[in-house]
């Protein structure tokens, strides 16, 4: 692929330009103003000048060496988003039960619905989430649910990356090795870890401190260490969870997990709303990356995570959507804006958290917490995961500082193209890998099937 007339976000989230940007083998290969050096000669039309307020159409033209050529005039090429906490199949429960207490919502709505999920519904629910993710600029998600192989199938069909885990939940003292969920995790790891040039990573997961016993936590910690697996957990999401753990174990969930050895492998900890200062020190010491889920924390009235305090103490923070059932969309622009606004109002300090730090959370930090060290930056040698944003959109003008516009004025409608490992997944409203109408109708059909059973 050859991008021409490129304005892009560099690793410091400043605008930079290059006349040509070549993409080879799914990676950014060369930034040059002299195409002769790249060995590529152009023959196709070079695109049209863009009218103000008109979204540029991204037209491809052929070049002699059969590289696809895209004129990027009027666009910003920026890193794609990495969603650090999701439960993708739950898109089938979008808007299913509102204004309920968490307990009532889970007991009366979510768990009865989940009892009727099967391979088909998991697949189409995941596909619906992947379509929404791609349209919104997300190319990779850290995803915790079950029916792992059906989720992997959807990820591969959608052309995106995923760190997928089967969360363990164990209340009754069964040996964790005897649990079906553990066996599912093991076989998913054996079958899919590293699949498709690393697009699929299988992680270990404990759902939460309050949903498993200690032998399960310690056992999974040992298993993850022995098999070089990454870990995905919920941590101190609600005050009730945090306080109950202190009352029961005389330690916080973070202290408990650290003592069980669970944080000794690279870990993504979702929420961390109620963590203490000493918890934050543990997160820093263990290099845990925190997944901040602002919409879900607001909607479930969980609280406001002390993000700026964590960042001041050197903890790395990424952004997650949580499930569509508690969000109710996969809108990373909204998440970025809320991250900034919540940090400011919760500290009563409008100077905290610069837009560039928020962009880093949405992109590079998300890639890092997925163990994707070669992703999340527009730079030579890095994987070509990027979105093309419409610089001519009303909300992107004028540009005093582009990071400010992207974080506080942007929305998914400015995403014109989404690319993962150099493959175009979405362009000018069209999906390239699947039939979106089929995805929507099958997701609706599965939802209706389940609603007849609950
Ligand atoms: Zn969650």
- 242: CATH: 3.20.20.140
Q: What is the distance in A from the centroid of ligand 1 to the CA of 171?
A: 19
Q: What is the distance in A from the centroid of ligand 1 to the CA of 359?
A: 22
Q: Which residues pair with 168 in a beta bridge?
A: 206
Q: What confidence score (pLDDT) does residue 288 get?
A: 98
The answer on 48 and 109 residing in a single domain is no
The answer on 108 and 48 residing in a single domain is no
Q: Establish if 11 belongs to a structural domain.
A: yes
- Are the CB atoms for 33 and 39 separated by under 8 Å? no
The residue out of 352, 369, 386 marking a domain boundary is 369
Q: What confidence score (pLDDT) does residue 273 get?
A: 98
Q: What confidence score (pLDDT) does residue 68 get?
A: 87
Residues 6+ apart with CB under 8 A from 407: 333, 336, 337, 340, 355, 358, 359
Q: What confidence score (pLDDT) does residue 63 get?
A: 41
- Are the CB atoms for 125 and 88 separated by under 8 Å? yes
Q: Establish if 33 belongs to a structural domain.
A: yes
- Are the CB atoms for 200 and 162 separated by under 8 Å? yes
CA distance 416 to 428: 5
Tokens, residue 262: 């669970």
Q: What is the distance in A from the centroid of ligand 1 to the CA of 323?
A: 6
> What pLDDT, in 10s, does the model give residues 61-88?
444 445 789 999 999 999 999 999 999 9
The answer on 408 and 289 residing in a single domain is no
Burial class (CB in 10 A: 0-12, 13-18, 19+), 301: exposed
Give the range of the structural domain holding residue 85, as residue numbers without chain letter. 81-369
The answer on 96 and 127 residing in a single domain is yes
The answer on 192 and 287 residing in a single domain is yes
Q: What is the distance in A from the centroid of ligand 1 to the CA of 296?
A: 9
Backbone angles phi, psi at 433, to 5 degrees: -105, -15
The answer on 122 and 69 residing in a single domain is no
The answer on 261 and 392 residing in a single domain is no
- Are the CB atoms for 161 and 120 separated by under 8 Å? no
The answer on 186 and 86 residing in a single domain is yes
The answer on 176 and 142 residing in a single domain is yes
Q: What is the distance in A from the centroid of ligand 1 to the CA of 88?
A: 10
Q: What is the distance in A from the centroid of ligand 1 to the CA of 309?
A: 22
Q: Establish if 444 belongs to a structural domain.
A: no
- Are the CB atoms for 386 and 80 separated by under 8 Å? yes
> What pLDDT, in 10s, does the model give residues 291-335?
999 999 999 999 999 999 999 999 999 999 999 999 999 999 999
Q: What confidence score (pLDDT) does residue 101 get?
A: 83
CA distance 108 to 454: 10
Q: Establish if 448 belongs to a structural domain.
A: no
Cis omega (within 30 of 0) on the bond before 398? Answer: yes
The answer on 205 and 96 residing in a single domain is yes
The single residue listed with the structure tokens 């997300």 is 138
Q: Establish if 440 belongs to a structural domain.
A: no
Q: Establish if 442 belongs to a structural domain.
A: no
Per residue, the 3-state secondary structure of 40-86, as one string, reads CCCCCCCCCCCCCCCCCCCCEEECCCCCEEEECCCEEEEECEEEEEE
Q: Establish if 447 belongs to a structural domain.
A: no
Q: Give me the number of domains the chain comprises.
A: 2
Q: What is the distance in A from the centroid of ligand 1 to the CA of 16?
A: 37
Residues 6+ apart with CB under 8 A from 291: 84, 85, 142, 268, 269, 270, 271, 317, 318, 319, 320, 369
Cα-based angle 387, 388, 390 (whole degrees, multiple of 5):
135
Q: What is the distance in A from the centroid of ligand 1 to the CA of 154?
A: 20
The answer on 85 and 69 residing in a single domain is no
Q: What confidence score (pLDDT) does residue 37 get?
A: 59
Within the chain, which residues score under 70 in pLDDT?
36-66
The single residue listed with the structure tokens 């508690």 is 326
Q: Establish if 289 belongs to a structural domain.
A: yes
The answer on 197 and 329 residing in a single domain is yes
pTM of the model: 0.94
């Amino acid at each position: 692929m050859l991008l021409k007339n490129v304005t892009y976000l560099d690793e410091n989230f400043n605008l930079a330009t290059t006349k040509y940007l070549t993409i080879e083998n799914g990676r950014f290969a060369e930034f040059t103003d002299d195409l002769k050096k790249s060995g590529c000669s152009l023959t196709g039309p070079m695109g049209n000048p863009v009218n103000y307020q008109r979204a540029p159409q991204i037209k491809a033209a052929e070049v002699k060496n059969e590289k696809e050529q895209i004129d990027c005039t009027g666009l910003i090429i920026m890193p794609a988003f990495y969603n650090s906490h999701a439960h993708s199949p739950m898109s089938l429960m979008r808007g299913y039960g509102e204004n309920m207490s968490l307990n009532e919502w889970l007991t009366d709505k979510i768990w009865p619905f989940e009892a009727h999920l099967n391979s088909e519904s998991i697949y189409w629910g995941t596909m619906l989430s992947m379509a929404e993710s791609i349209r919104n600029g997300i190319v990779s998600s850290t995803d915790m649910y079950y029916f792992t192989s059906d989720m992997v199938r959807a990820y591969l069909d959608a052309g995106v990356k995923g760190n997928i885990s089967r969360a363990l939940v164990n209340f009754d003292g069964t040996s964790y090795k005897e649990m079906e969920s553990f066996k599912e995790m093991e076989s998913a790891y054996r079958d899919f870890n590293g699949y498709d040039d690393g697009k699929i990573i299988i992680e270990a997961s404990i759902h939460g401190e309050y949903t498993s016993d200690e032998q399960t936590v310690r056992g999974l910690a040992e298993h993850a260490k022995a098999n070089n697996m990454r870990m995905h957990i919920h941590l101190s999401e609600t005050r009730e969870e945090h306080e109950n753990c202190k009352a029961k174990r005389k330690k916080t969930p973070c202290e408990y997990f650290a003592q069980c050895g669970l944080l000794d492998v690279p870990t993504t900890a979702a929420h961390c709303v109620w963590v203490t200062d000493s918890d934050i020190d543990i997160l820093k010491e263990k290099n845990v990356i925190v997944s901040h889920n602002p919409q879900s924390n607001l909607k479930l009235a969980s609280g406001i995570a002390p993000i700026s305090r964590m960042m001041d103490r050197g903890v790395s923070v990424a952004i997650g959507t949580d499930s569509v059932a508690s969000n109710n969309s996969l809108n990373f622009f909204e998440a970025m804006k809320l991250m900034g606004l919540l940090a400011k109002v919760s500290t009563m300090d409008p100077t905290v958290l610069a837009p560039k730090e928020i962009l880093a959370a949405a992109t590079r930090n998300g890639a890092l917490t997925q163990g994707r060290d070669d992703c999340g930056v527009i730079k030579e040698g890095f994987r070509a995961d990027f979105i093309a944003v419409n610089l001519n959109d009303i909300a992107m003008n004028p540009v005093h500082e582009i990071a400010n516009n992207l974080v506080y004025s942007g929305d998914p409608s400015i995403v014109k193209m989404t690319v993962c490992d150099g493959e175009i997944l979405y362009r000018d409203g069209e999906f390239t890998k699947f039939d979106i109408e089929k995805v929507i109708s099958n997701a609706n059909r599965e939802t209706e099937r389940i609603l007849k059973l609950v």
